[in-house]
Structure 1
Amino acid sequence: MVQGTLSVESMLDKMASELKTLLIHRQIEDPIIIGIRTGGIWIAERLHTALALDNAIGTLDISFYRDDFSQIGLHPKVQASQIPCVTEGRDIVLVDDVIMSGRTIRAALNELFDYGRPASVTLVTLLDLQRRQLPIQADIYGGTLSLAANQQVKLTGPDPLTLEISQKD
């Protein structure tokens, strides 16, 4: 059983290198990086710096797009999404910290398409927990992790960024 804290620096280096290669391969020269609040924004900022991109980073708060919104209600820290430019016809790099069921990414895509129809969306995530409920797959990920049913993972940051693995309460 895994428990403790993991550094994410090597994962970020791997992700930045793979993302740069993928963007070159797909001939994407000016992507918009958009992070999903909160951990996805921290990862997006690091990738944005590593790729030396000029345009601003976007942020998504998917609270209103969640499929369990009617069950869990409004989170007290909901913030507005901020997209720095028109997304219609643009190449988007969508970033989240952890992908598990795929439901967060589905909600993010729903919100993203409300801003316009992008030319492409590349999904990047720090950690893949491989517990899919929806057929959503990251293009780039830093690593995979199998957790026991009584464990959880949380990204803390923004500086330093660490993954904390702990027992559920």
Structure 2
Amino acid sequence: MPPTSNSPQLDAEALYARLLQQVKTGLAGATDPAIVGIYSGGAWLAERLAADLGLSARLGFVDVSFYRDDYAKKGLHVGVKSTQIPFDVDGATILLVDDVLYTGRTTRAAINELFDYGRPARVMLAALADRGGRQLPVAADFVATTVTLEAQQALVLQRAAEGQFTLTIDDDHA
């Protein structure tokens, strides 16, 4: 079981190293592995994982904006990005990557979109942090930490220009 943290001082680089080790072990022997990151934090993590695992040629990204179950209610967010999956999804082992696993709704939307590109042999989920609060039966195969937060709080992953990650708790998230 991953360590639990209630501290606003999360060491994102140590968490990334923990996640990388889990993924490296979990993907050993996988059939036709590929990595797909969910914009934006999951995409940053996916880029780094792909580079560290030698899978840069099998890297893709999804923007779940049009697949969200609250799309009709909330509309589009500023900065919608295009989905990019430049490899054959059929028969692949897909590592779906997100920064924070919360309700499970983003993961569901990403899986729905992924299946529009083909039928993978397997989809595995990696998240830097799991904050609980699931509304759908979704669980990560790989997670670096579990964090307990108040409902109005959010975990925010940021990436510096040189690629280093920081993970902070935003107390004003509504």
TM-score, normalisation: structure 1: 0.92
**Structure 2: distance between partners of 1:4 and 1:15:** 19
Gaps spanning 5+ residues in structure 2: where? none
Q: CA deviation at 1:124?
A: 0.4
In structure 1, what is the equivalent of residue 128 of structure 2? 126
Secondary structure of 1:154's match?
A: strand
Equivalent pair of 2:38/2:97 in contact (CA under 8 Å): yes
Q: Which residue of 1 aligns with 2:167?
A: 163
- Pick one of 41, 58, 61 that aligns with 2:43: 41
Per the TM alignment, residue 157 of structure 1 is displaced from its structure 2 partner at its CA by 1.1
Query: What amino acid sits opposite 1:164 in the alignment?
Result: T
Aligned length: 167
Q: TM-score, normalised by structure 2?
A: 0.89
- Out of 12, 16, 21, the residue aligned to residue 17 of structure 1 is 21
Alpha-carbon distance between aligned partners in 1 of 2:75 and 2:17, rounded to the nearest angstrom: 37
Deviation readout 1:51-101 (Å, 9 max, x if unpaired): 122524100000000000001001121111000111011111100000000
Shift of 1:5: 4.4
C-alpha distance in structure 2 between counterparts of 1:42 and 1:54, whole Å:
13
Decide whether the 8 Å contact of 1:5 with 1:162 is kept in 2: no
Within 2, Cα distance between the matches of 1:29 and 1:90? 6
Other-structure match for 1:153: 155
Q: After TM superposition, where is structure 1 displaced by more than 3 Å over at least 4 residues in a row?
A: 1-5
1:83-122 Cα distance to aligned partner (Å, 9 max, x none): 0111011111100000000000000000000101101111
Paired residue secondary structure (1:92): strand
Q: Give the fraction of aligned pairs with identical amino acids, expressed as a percent.
A: 45
Q: CA deviation at 1:21?
A: 1.2
Cα distance in 2 for residues equivalent to 1:163 and 1:45:
17
State the superposition RMSD in angstroms.
Answer: 1.7
* 1:108 partner SS: helix
**Does structure 2 conserve the Cα–Cα contact (< 8 Å) formed by 1:58 and 1:84?**
yes
Say whether 1:103 aligns with 2:116. Answer: no
The 3-state SS of whatever aligns with 2:44 is: helix
Q: CA deviation at 1:43?
A: 0.7
**Gap regions ≥5 residues in structure 1:** none
Greater shift, 104-113 or 80-89, is seen at 80-89
Q: Distance in 1 between matches of 2:98 and 2:39?
A: 8
- Output the CA distance in 1 between the equivalents of 2:35 and 2:90: 14
Report the more deviating stretch, 79-88 or 54-63: 54-63
1:55 maps to which residue?
57
